[in-house]
Chains A and B, each alone.
Chain A
Amino acid sequence: MLSSYQLDLLSNLGINILLALSVYCPMATGQLSIGNAGFMALGAYTSAILTVHLHLPLFLALIVGGIVAGIVGVLVGFPALRLKGIFLAMATLAFGEIVRNFFMNFLKPLTGGAYGFRGIGDTPISIVWIWGWVLFFLLFFFFLSRSRAGLAMLATHDDETVSELIGIHIVLLKVGAFGIGAFIAGVGGGLYAHYYLYIEPEFFNVWESIHMVLYVIMGGMLTFWGAVLGTMIFVLLPEFLRFLQDWRGAFFGVLIIGLMIARPSGIVTREMLRKDFWHPLRKGT
């Protein structure tokens, strides 16, 4: 049996994998979002309000939380089409701050505002909930990456003009990817709220968003395996480095820099996966 420390670590890992995937999805179509903590907050608060005040079953609350985040994601996705790179990053960052400030100042009777939202259930949800969702989304991305839709996302990431000229509906694809990413962040937020049983707006600040982006950049932006591996390194490695005591943080930082120098496009690249995992699209007939 796993110790409660190990279970806690794995739960934390699962939630963070979901958050990394939420950043990976728009990034796979060339859109950098550093506002996903905002979508996470939307999912966390929505689902918590639903279970605490309306006594909805958890599963339903998680779905609704994800959908609310997803709809907002689509609404943000449309103006985001006009922005690229660093400008899109700035806009999404601003979006995340808007959401954080919203929950700081509004809906206080329901959520407690800056004092925090207490008493979300009596016991933390089991790790099965978290990893059930992780598994679901991993399967989703697994099949997506082997499909023509996945290839179309990569095409859009590489060259939007040519993508459109070969018949790809890039507006649908980019807004869709943004919305699905937001949905995943929303579900992740809901799980977060019902695992820690307490949330406050400050949890969903820019740092949270930046962490999600770092997982993906570190692991490799063009495959979902990269997002998973990047998260594992960021979440698990500091635990294994506890023996370094005061040097832990510094050593971890050096390690990250070293990895980025050694593998500038992330640890997992498409070339690595092609050999084993890519065969469905590779085989001739």
Chain B
Amino acid sequence: MILKESQLLTLKGVSKNFGGLRAVNDLSLDVSKGYIYGLIGPNGAGKTTVFNLITGVYPCNSGSILLEDVTVTELKSYRIARLGISRTFQTIRLFPSMTTWENVLIGQNTLSKSGIRGILPIRRAQEVELRRQAQEALKVLGLWEMRDRKAVTLPYGNQRKVEIARAIAARPKLLLLDEPTAGMNIRETKDLLGVLSKIHELGITILVIEHDMRVVMGICDHIFVLNFGQKIAEGSPAEIRQNEEVLEAYLGKEE
């Protein structure tokens, strides 16, 4: 049961067209602080587009997006990131020239206020705290031992974790995960579930796109179901499991 006391993210009537295709259609979502949300739907339902709209990769055609009380609809990606939304990608996108440690450090760019002054060799209190958080992020994900290896040389499952570590190192308010278990085997998936609960315990609200129903039903407090760019259902895992429309969207209608 979701208590709607502290609203974190609000989408109001958001639409996005690609040419003649309506990828997202009049979508409204409410995300409250402190829960894990699932965003599910068949392939091509517009889930990743929703992430791209929230993070400012694409502009919305209509509607508005709010983070707490701030309207982020018109903001550039880097400013939205600095307000506390971070994400991972469906296909892993790590910085190939960097080690694991550096990949995580750069994820804190949103918090480091040093700017050009940061060039001076002064270790400030903020920097010490950031290093500690980066270290914690790596330890939560179980990557600490591999911190000095080039991130792109790690095994696939660990690369996904580096991406997540990069996203949480800045302690975002909202973490958007785009199919975190894609391409993982059962053991890696199970491992990741534990990691997600740990991230949740850090006080980070999560919105996750996922195809693996065991993951979705296992960890989500609340689920949004998308089909053809529209929200066709939302509710607790138990409610979604029995929803006629959802079954129809996934399995087709019985003749």
Contact = CB atoms under 8 A, between A and B. Distances in A.
Contact of B89 (A146, A154, A158, A162): A162
Contacts of A154: 95, 97-98, 102, 106
Contacts of A157: 97
B110 A167 contact: yes
Nearest to A269: B97
Contacts of B166: 166
A270 B96 CA distance: 12
B116 A149 contact: yes
A165 interface: yes
Contacts of B89: 162
B97 A166 contact: no
Contacts of B110: 166-167
B203 interface: no
B109 A166 contact: yes
A168 B110 CA distance: 7
Contact of A281 (B78, B82, B105, B109): B105
Nearest to B76: A164
Contacts of A146: 121
A151 B131 contact: no
Given A149-B116, A155-B95, A284 B131 contact: yes
Interface in A270-285: 270-271, 274, 280-285
A269 to B, nearest CB: 9
Q: B97, B115, B131, B148: which has the most chain A beta carbons within 10 Å?
A: B97
Nearest to A284: B135
Given A167-B78, A285-B128, A148 B112 contact: yes
A152 B109 contact: yes
A126 interface: no
B119 A149 contact: yes
Nearest to B123: A280
B57 interface: yes
B27 to A, nearest CB: 21
B82 A143 contact: no
Contacts of B116: 149
B71 interface: no
B114 A148 contact: yes
Contact of A168 (B109, B119, B131, B147): B109
| Residue of B101, B106, B118 with most partner-chain A CB within 10 A | B106
A165 B55 contact: yes
B22 interface: no
B119 A281 contact: no
A285 B135 contact: yes
B190 interface: no
Contacts of B132: 285
B106 A151 contact: yes
Given A151-B106, A164-B78, A222 B120 contact: no
Given A148-B106, A154-B102, A161-B93, 14 more contacts: A148-B105, A149-B119, A158-B96, A158-B98, A159-B93, A162-B89, A165-B78, A167-B81, A167-B82, A170-B78, A222-B97, A271-B150, A283-B131, A284-B134
16 contacts: A143-B119, A146-B121, A147-B114, A147-B118, A148-B105, A148-B114, A151-B105, A152-B109, A164-B77, A168-B109, A270-B97, A280-B121, A281-B102, A282-B101, A284-B135, A285-B132
Interface of B: 55, 57, 76-78, 81-82, 86-87, 89, 93, 95-99, 101-102, 105-110, 112, 114-116, 118-121, 128, 131-132, 134-135, 147-148, 150, 166, 170
Nearest 9 CB-CB pairs, A to B? A167-B110, A167-B81, A158-B95, A164-B77, A167-B109, A167-B82, A143-B119, A147-B119, A147-B118
Interface of A: 140, 143-144, 146-152, 154-155, 157-159, 161-162, 164-170, 222, 270-271, 274, 280-285
